[in-house]
Structure 1
Amino acid sequence: MSQINPEKQWVTFVHGAGGSSSIWFKQIRAFQKHFNVLLLDLRGHGNSNQQIKTAFKQKYTFKSIATDVIEVINHLQIESSHFVGISLGSIIIRQLAEMHPEKVKSMILGGAILKMNFRSQILMRLGNLFKYVLPYLILYKFFAFVIMPKKNHKKSRLLFINEAKKLYQKEFIKWFKLTAEINPILRWFRQVELEIPTLYVMGEEDYMFLPAVREVVKRHVKTAELFVVENCGHVVNVEQPMIFNETVVNYLKEKF
């Protein structure tokens, strides 16, 4: 967390599964010029400590993980914040907004997941078949390559794989079991438009998830906007950080 300026609004960054707060390293300086910045590690990821890991023995749900984030926000006495998420982090932010809309000034959803297409459904089934058999890193590398297949996606793939090495096998399985509830929750998100300004930042090569986002933005006309980054895959903030930073900062400054 950066030095707090009471005159500045807050921006909270939420990483995806297998990542950590370190995936935002190319955003910190650009955002600190204009905002108070909060980086957090989701349970079991990055530097989330051992006490937290052992405290949560129950099944992971999107509600329980969103509650973790809210507890951090409340602990720091942050009344409300803009939330920036990537990949699975976009689902956690949307869940958080359902539960505590008063805490969410806006949602910036990069590489947003709003629908699991046929290929991603097959991936989930394969993962469920092999999650107790194969070392999780083999599965994770396979998933990363399918989601980010091109040569220009290599930096994103390697970053997420290196961060995933910090997970434990049991932790990976807990997170993977979240996929059991993902379809109904995404269906609800597609149907219900919240009264919260939302910017989707998607790579034009994010073939698994961009089509669904385009459809939702057409329907959620009151609050949703879409910015598509050229020559870019799933992890937009890593692959095209300057465009991502400029787009998001300008959006927040113009809206708020």
Structure 2
Amino acid sequence: MLHYRTYEVGQDAPWVTFVHGAGGSSSTWFKQIREFRKEHNVLLIDLRGHGKSEGGRWKKGDTFLDISKEVIDVLDELNVEKTHVIGMSLGTIVAQTMADNYPDRVKSLILGGAIIRFDIRTKLLLWIGRATKRFVPYMFLYKLFAYIIMPRKQHEESRLAFVNEAKKMYQKEFIKWFSLTKLINPYLTRLQTSTTDIPTLFLMGDEDYLFIPPIEEAVRKSEVFEFIKIKNCGHVCNIEQPEIFNKLSIDYISKIEQTKAVPG
């Protein structure tokens, strides 16, 4: 089972599950814990091969569905029937996969630095990465992608946070995760049409130039999706602008909880 930590305030408090991005770990949510644990039961998870979760769990043909099932297994272990899910970067794909395949377990999605489609630039970068991943040190590739996605000086803290966590991974684990990106575009396109019954908030830094355009397009097509840009912020908005990220997320969860509490 995946490694996890919980902070519980009471049986009636809503659960919030945090899913980190590729190369990160549950520790990248350190700026959220204090605020969320005041009124929420908090679940922090290390995805396979990250943080304190063991590596070597991969089987041939594993997909994001297998990864999301491991998160569901933790919910089962804790007897958590339903949870709000907050994902960051590649963790947003895991969160959306949970909502797609286990909709009765997900109250809402809050997707930070969300990935819902790769544009031509990103696809080219990923192709180069896949072509060189077996003979180029994975940390070189990871640092390169981190600088491309988070290029500005004000992005340095979040960039270093993920780079330092990624150093704890093994090359084989990185290759397995990287391989998941190969068929990701058609998969994500389907997710956008199959998860529309789940209340969803996209939180994006206004400097997250690679991933904002597809979000704007998806939100225009859906009445359920909400989208807020955070000013002066890059891809990892929970680290760069934690006060704003926390307030927007908690307010959204409160709104969903109040809506569900109204009879009929």
TM, length-normalised to structure 2: 0.93
In 2: Cα distance, 1:54 partner to 1:150 partner: 35
On the 8 A contact 2:230/2:244 being kept in 1, the answer is yes
**CA-CA distance at 1:4 after TM superposition:** 4.6
TM, length-normalised to structure 1: 0.96
**Structure 2 matches for 1:161-240, cutoff 5 A?**
161-221=163-223, 223-240=224-241
On the 8 A contact 2:50/2:168 being kept in 1, the answer is yes
Are 2:14 and 1:9 aligned? yes
Matched letter for residue 113 of structure 2? G
SS at match of 2:181: helix
SS at match of 2:111: strand
**Structure 2 matches for 1:69-148, cutoff 5 A?**
69-148=71-150
Are 2:46 and 1:41 aligned? yes
In 2: Cα distance, 1:87 partner to 1:55 partner: 22
SS at match of 1:180: coil
**CA-CA distance at 1:214 after TM superposition:** 0.8
In 2: Cα distance, 1:231 partner to 1:203 partner: 7
In 2: Cα distance, 1:247 partner to 1:148 partner: 22
Partner of 2:260: none
Matched letter for residue 150 of structure 1? R
On the 8 A contact 1:60/1:174 being kept in 2, the answer is no
Matched letter for residue 100 of structure 1? Y
Partner of 1:250: 251
On the 8 A contact 1:15/1:89 being kept in 2, the answer is yes
Query: Which 4+ runs in 1 deviate beyond 6 A?
Result: none
In 1: Cα distance, 2:34 partner to 2:61 partner: 36
In 2: Cα distance, 1:78 partner to 1:3 partner: 12
The alignment's C-alpha RMSD in Å is 1.1
**Percent identity at matched positions?**
50
Query: Which blocks of at least 5 consecutive residues in structure 2 are unaligned?
Result: 1-5, 258-264
**CA-CA distance at 1:55 after TM superposition:** 4.1
SS at match of 1:227: strand
Partner of 1:63: 65
Deviations 1:7-36 (A, max 9, x none): 101000000110000000000010001100
In 2: Cα distance, 1:146 partner to 1:11 partner: 30
In 1: Cα distance, 2:172 partner to 2:62 partner: 12
On the 8 A contact 1:59/1:174 being kept in 2, the answer is no
Query: Which blocks of at least 5 consecutive residues in structure 1 are unaligned?
Result: none
On the 8 A contact 1:193/1:220 being kept in 2, the answer is no
Matched letter for residue 189 of structure 1? L
On the 8 A contact 2:100/2:195 being kept in 1, the answer is no
On the 8 A contact 1:60/1:175 being kept in 2, the answer is no
> What is the number of residues matched between the two proteins?
252
Deviations 1:35-91 (A, max 9, x none): 000000000000113xxx234343431111011111111111100000000000111
SS at match of 2:220: helix
Deviations 1:159-199 (A, max 9, x none): 11000001000000000000112111111123344211100
SS at match of 2:183: helix
In 1: Cα distance, 2:62 partner to 2:255 partner: 37
In 1: Cα distance, 2:245 partner to 2:216 partner: 18
- Residues 71, 211 of structure 1: alpha-carbon distance in 2 compared, 3 angstrom cutoff: same
